[in-house]
Amino acid sequence: MISKKMIESLKGGSEIRKMFEEGGRLKSIYGADNVYDFSIGNPDLEPPKEVFDALKELADNPTPGMHGYMPNAGYPSTRTIVAEKRGKEAGMEIGPDAVCMTVGAASAMNDVLHSILDPEDEVILLAPYFMEYNGYVANHGGKVVIVQTDDKFMPIIADIEKAITARTKAIIVNSPNNPSGVVYPAELLIELNDMLKKQDHTIYVISDEPYIDLAYDGASVPCALKYIDNLIICFSWSKSLSLPGERIGYTLVSPKCADFADLTGAIVLSNRTLGSVNAPAIWQKVIEKSIYAKVDVANYENRRNLLYSNIIDAGFDAVKPNGALYIFMNTPKGLDDGEFSSICAKHNLLLVKGSSFARPGYCRLAFCVSETSIRNSRKAFFAIAEELGLSHRAEL
Ligand SMILES: Cc1ncc(COP(=O)(O)O)c(C=O)c1O
């Protein structure tokens, strides 16, 4: 029999997965072009040319042992290149010992939480947040403490401070954010660091950065390494290089971090004992050769613009996202997010309820879907607005 804990977890199911299945059902009835499925954040751009060139070069020039076991932290050469890149961006000296190559950001987060949490230790999450964090924290015996952000989804430092207890071990920060797409300004990171420095015990900031290269309108994402002392980065190339299926990422512990040597050692041990053992060998080598490449960010920006215009022109409200792959729109007219998503589904428009991100009253739309689908969805947004009695702000 499976564990009681898993029986409980299985009951919850996944809202996104349910929407994904509903999308498949609707597409089989109405045809793919007539269903507007904004439920899944699956990066749909192809990886850049540098990635394919590197793969080909590796396949054409095999070296003995290239598929063998390696140090659990990954190839020293890959870790050196990662450390150099992040060090240059932050204007600080970072050595390869700060880096552990991981099986994506999900594995990076699990390695970090496993390394720092004792049973019942608390981890602060800033809502709305990526719902998988609940599972990651629970995996390692921790307790989630939710702190809401303001109406522009910016963290309120005083509210975070109020949530801190003697058991607070870490706070997870995710900018650009899934699901809101907002980017936290440098001043906010400085304010967070100042507040944390005043506390009587170390509280780590875990910066979950899979969207750091997806920023729009010329914005660049402030470098958390510069502003936060007790910082642990969890990164993946799932979005930056469109490689989510390949599972490649890293943890990077700031040289300014308390217990640097213990922490980096614990993360490597966690990587081994949690079962990844090491990140995929080929992909570490590909990254060495293509670390400065990026997907076509302008393509995502164009689709963000189109979807955002549909929402606003039809008469709905949303904070315009500066990054990531999502728009987190307000549910209109006091409707709860369940009622609103059901109305949208009647118009073949699928989105994910804000309650799934611990922020009711909103719904998330992923814009990594075809431009045709976004363009075709405009009439559905207008029809839903009409059904709800909203005034349009522009012509259809
Ligand atoms: C905020 C956030 N963190 C972590 C992850 C996990 O990333 P990866 O696929 O690299 O494990 C995702 C994936 O969508 C995400 O949105």
Residue 357 resides in a domain: yes
Q: How far is the CA of 61 from the centre of ligand 1 (A)?
A: 32
pLDDT of residue 321: 98
The ligand 1 atom at the shortest distance from the C-alpha of residue 247 is 10
Best substitution site from 236, 283, 352 to test ligand 1's pocket, by max atoms within 8 Å of Cβ?
Answer: 236
Same domain, 283 and 368: no
Its domain, for residue 121, covers 63-290
The ligand 1 atom at the shortest distance from the C-alpha of residue 41 is 14
Last residue of a domain, one of 242, 263, 290: 290
The residues, ordered by sequence, that sit 6+ positions from 350 with a Cβ below 8 Å of its Cβ are 19, 22, 23, 26, 35, 36, 37, 38, 39, 341, 344
Same domain, 78 and 202: yes
**pLDDT tens track for 139-193:** 999 999 999 999 999 999 999 999 999 999 999 999 999 999 999 999 999 999 9
Same domain, 369 and 309: yes
pLDDT of residue 147: 98
**Statement: residue 19 has pLDDT above 80:** no
pLDDT of residue 22: 81
Average pLDDT taken over every residue of the chain? 96
**Distances, alpha carbon 283 to alpha carbons 70, 105, 209, 246, in Å:** 13, 14, 19, 7
CA 182/CA 78 separation, integer angstroms: 30
Count the domains in the chain.
2
Same domain, 186 and 280: yes
Best substitution site from 39, 103, 132, 250 to test ligand 1's pocket, by max atoms within 8 Å of Cβ?
Answer: 132
The ligand 1 atom at the shortest distance from the C-alpha of residue 177 is 1
41 against 99, higher pLDDT: 99
Same domain, 69 and 202: yes
Same domain, 252 and 123: yes
Same domain, 207 and 322: no
Taking CB atoms and a 6 Å cutoff, what residues make up the pocket around ligand 1?
A: 41, 104-106, 130, 174, 178, 208, 210, 236, 238, 244, 249
pLDDT band at 323 (very low <50, low <70, confident <90, very high): very high
**pLDDT tens track for 270-307:** 999 999 999 999 999 999 999 999 999 999 999 999 99
Same domain, 31 and 90: no
Last residue of a domain, one of 242, 271, 290: 290
Average pLDDT over residues 93-107: 98
* Amino acid, single-letter form, for residue 51: V
pLDDT band at 28 (very low <50, low <70, confident <90, very high): confident
pLDDT band at 25 (very low <50, low <70, confident <90, very high): confident
**Statement: residue 16 has pLDDT above 80:** no
The ligand 1 atom at the shortest distance from the C-alpha of residue 129 is 1
pLDDT band at 26 (very low <50, low <70, confident <90, very high): confident
Q: How far is the CA of 242 from the centre of ligand 1 (A)?
A: 12
CATH number for the domain that contains residue 340? 3.90.1150.10
**Statement: residue 13 has pLDDT above 80:** no
Residue 55 resides in a domain: no
